[in-house]
Chain A
């Protein structure tokens, strides 16, 4: 495929799936309502403790929690959802490589996290009088899509591996809190046992929240933005490999439409 057609496919796919996901009550809950609930809990806890740090950091962390949840549930079940809709065979048989039709889905699920970030910022500003003063607006405008992209590419890995499990959605439930915890979205990783830190390095939300927080609160966001992009490339390679494996097995064993 020509680069122009590839970009068009990615763009149209992303728009379509983003619109599709926003019609789902579950994804609205996960991306817009749940982060606001968690942000409110964190705001009240932060207010009562009078600890150092700003409410803005809490709001951004809660927003990224929503981004992870929508990626986890949306991308984790991306292939399975296509199976249930009866569109998986068509997508596999299409001339375009399957990865180019799956990638817009996983990036769309991460993009839902933009609602989470916007929601928690608006919530904090309206109800808690939180000032939304972004120190480096330009860097913030780069850090946010970098975080979305890296989480979307992590979603590609989730999509191509979770499909091996019959109840991927239930399995996804298990990974929501642990990743919130080990990536330092609200709790500093330094408070956790030592073995957690290396684990946090390979997870995109760790660098996504660092990049966004440094852009918003001050500091150098670019190393974290770079890590988002580097991890994104690694996820893309791993995702392409596991996806090819899935496609080969599904064709060889005739299990493409089996749920």
Chain B
């Protein structure tokens, strides 16, 4: 029971701590306003430069904008502990590290899903995106897996925050690189081989492709390989994130660097 409490309440508490530096109203405005204009920008850019249908850009960006939460918020839920001086008291507790770590991902995943759903709503209302009702449940599943996978990657960046001085540089960089490497606006097969390899190792890439197929009417069984690949990529990043967190926790104790920058 206490484990469940640590997992759930700990995650919610850390999520609420994000509002230490930004008001809830402004947080919401940023989380929804920026994705709105990102989707409009790339859809119009697509109309200007390519012959691809709007759906390609709307779906790609509607999924990718969940990284607003999956990358930025996930990074902050870990890295802010050090920034705000609460890391040492936290790590002095005997709390189960697995529950403590992954509990933080739950509100971030829900937040990412909300941002992505908003992105799809923008596409439907402003850009005439059509998604059949029957395709919504499989699309929701694809989104859930993709957002969770991205959050795992964000938590790995956050774990670097236990040691690195400026982890937010990395999270900003990753967010923008995803626009290029993950097939959001340029199909993966039009990129050089090395960029395709990087893209395939990143979260989002397979999920975006699956989301495009499902939104276009393909069945869930038809994109099972993509969904499983996305889940596998997320699982690997999640495991790497946790191992890195434990390693840097131990290093921080050994070098007495938990509170130094």
Query: Residues of B at under 8 Å CB distance from A?
Result: 21-23, 26-27, 29-30, 33-34, 37-38, 40-41, 44-51, 166, 168-169, 172-173, 176-177, 179-180, 185-187, 190-191
**Cβ–Cβ < 8 Å partners of A166 in chain B:** 23
Query: Residues of A at under 8 Å CB distance from B?
Result: 25-26, 29, 33-34, 37-38, 40-42, 44-46, 48-49, 51, 166-167, 170-171, 173-174, 176-178, 180-181, 186-188, 191-192
B41 and A177 form a contact (CB under 8 A): yes
A26-B169, A187-B44 provided; 10 other pairs, C-beta below 8 A?
A29-B172, A33-B173, A37-B180, A38-B179, A44-B191, A170-B26, A174-B30, A176-B34, A181-B44, A186-B45
Which A-B residue pairs are the 10 nearest by beta carbons?
A: A177-B37, A49-B50, A45-B49, A25-B169, A44-B186, A174-B33, A49-B49, A187-B44, A177-B41, A46-B49
Question: How far apart are A173's CB and chain B's nearest CB, in angstroms?
Answer: 5
**Cβ–Cβ < 8 Å partners of B191 in chain A:** 44
Residue of B nearest to A188 (CB): B48
B169 and A29 form a contact (CB under 8 A): yes
**Cβ–Cβ < 8 Å partners of B166 in chain A:** 25
Assembly CA distance A48 to B56 (angstroms):
14
Question: How far apart are B161's CB and chain A's nearest CB, in angstroms?
Answer: 14
**Cβ–Cβ < 8 Å partners of A167 in chain B:** 21-23, 26
A41 and B38 form a contact (CB under 8 A): no
Question: How far apart are B34's CB and chain A's nearest CB, in angstroms?
Answer: 5
Assembly CA distance A180 to B40 (angstroms):
11
Assembly CA distance A29 to B37 (angstroms):
20
Number of A-B residue pairs, CB cutoff 8 Å, is 89
**Cβ–Cβ < 8 Å partners of A26 in chain B:** 168-169, 172
One of A41, A46, A174, A187 near B180 (C-beta < 8 A): A41
Question: How far apart are B258's CB and chain A's nearest CB, in angstroms?
Answer: 22
Question: How far apart are B172's CB and chain A's nearest CB, in angstroms?
Answer: 6
**Cβ–Cβ < 8 Å partners of A46 in chain B:** 49
A187 and B41 form a contact (CB under 8 A): yes
User: Knowing A29-B173, A48-B50, A177-B38 touch, does A41 contact B190 (C-beta < 8 A)?
Assistant: no
One of B22, B40, B186 near A41 (C-beta < 8 A): B186
Assembly CA distance A134 to B186 (angstroms):
29
Residue of A nearest to B166 (CB): A25
**Cβ–Cβ < 8 Å partners of B190 in chain A:** 44, 48
B22 and A181 form a contact (CB under 8 A): no
Question: How far apart are A219's CB and chain B's nearest CB, in angstroms?
Answer: 19
**Cβ–Cβ < 8 Å partners of A33 in chain B:** 173, 176
Question: How far apart are B220's CB and chain A's nearest CB, in angstroms?
Answer: 29
Assembly CA distance A186 to B42 (angstroms):
10
One of B26, B27, B34, B51 near A177 (C-beta < 8 A): B34
One of A34, A51, A171, A177 near B40 (C-beta < 8 A): A177
B172 and A181 form a contact (CB under 8 A): no
